[in-house]
Structure 1
Amino acid sequence: MTFAIKAGIRDPRAAQFDFPAQKTMYGGKRIAVGDMIYLFASENDGGSGLVARGVVTAAEPTPKRAGVERQTPRVSIRVQRTALAKQALGRAELKPFVDWGDGQPQTELNFKFYRQATDKIVGLSDAAAAFLEGCF
């Protein structure tokens, strides 16, 4: 399976990234070592959207906190960068894609990342992964 993460990324050119205790949605909790992941630098933290692609080299579920009834699953991952994005793709480029039922990969990305703007790891459809690959 292919995944994407939107998180604070200070140096998109780093060879390796550590993302501790990241929120997961839309199948993101299934991320595992060896999975491909697209990295989006969160605009909430001054980022610009899609910055890199990588491979997950470590993945560990974060234990649930005691006494908290409803919790979003979280996972800590380490990613080895394999490529830098050559094309801009962020909130501004995805904003026009709001017809949630149109089946376009851009709409899927807009829905998963920007409908609820929190940072997170998400699972991607094959169509969305193929679309993102065109940015490299």
Structure 2
Amino acid sequence: MTAAFAIKTPLPDEPADGWQLVEQKTMYGGKRIAAGDELFLFDSENAGGRGLIARGVVVQAAVCAPRVGVPRQTPRVTLTVRRTATAARPLGRAVLRTFDRWDDGRPETELNFKLYRQATDKVVGLSEAAARWLADCFAEASE
């Protein structure tokens, strides 16, 4: 069974067919990402990006070895991702920032919490509801 994840990271070539994403931090279950999983890609607004740009499938996922001499470390992964769709409408911090009632159960709130509550670029695990909600951002592109 595949799972759904999101990544917020600088994406250097938006029109690319895929990406090699090296040593990405993981949070909120992101370290469980594996080949075959669905990945929603957010071009990091911390680095001048515009938020959600693509959906892809993880072709390869490798856990990175811990750095020597660093006592507390966030787990990291290196991913190879193939693009499967381009976002049909924008979605980023400006849209999600109003969803800040952390216990309301909305998929928009989950995304705001996991991606934008901390500025860190990262891979995060998604609930089924959040993945379905994000998939709607691609509906117009596939018609």
TM-score of the superposition, structure 2-length normalised?
A: 0.94
Task: Using the aligned pairs only, state the percent identity.
Answer: 60
The SS at the match of 2:137 is: coil
The SS at the match of 1:18 is: strand
- The answer to whether the aligner puts 1:113 opposite 2:119 as a matched pair is no
The SS at the match of 1:134 is: helix
What letter corresponds to residue 31 of structure 2 in structure 1?
A: K
What letter corresponds to residue 79 of structure 1 in structure 2?
A: V
What letter corresponds to residue 8 of structure 1 in structure 2?
A: P
The SS at the match of 1:32 is: coil
Deviation at 1:16, TM superposition (A): 1.0
Q: Number of residue pairs matched?
A: 136
Query: Could you report, residue by residue, the CA deviation over 1:61-119 in whole angstroms, capped at 9, with x for unpaired residues?
Result: 01001221110000000100000000110000001000000000000000001100110
User: Once superposed, what is the RMSD of the aligned Cα atoms?
Assistant: 0.6
- The answer to whether the aligner puts 1:6 opposite 2:8 as a matched pair is yes
Aligned to 2:100: 98
Distance 2:53 2:125 in 1: 18
Distance 1:66 1:111 in 2: 31
After the TM superposition, which parts of structure 1 deviate over 6 Å for at least 4 consecutive aligned residues? none
Aligned to 1:15: 17
Aligned to 1:81: 83
Distance 1:54 1:66 in 2: 32
Aligned to 1:135: 137
Aligned to 2:141: none
Deviation at 1:43, TM superposition (A): 0.4
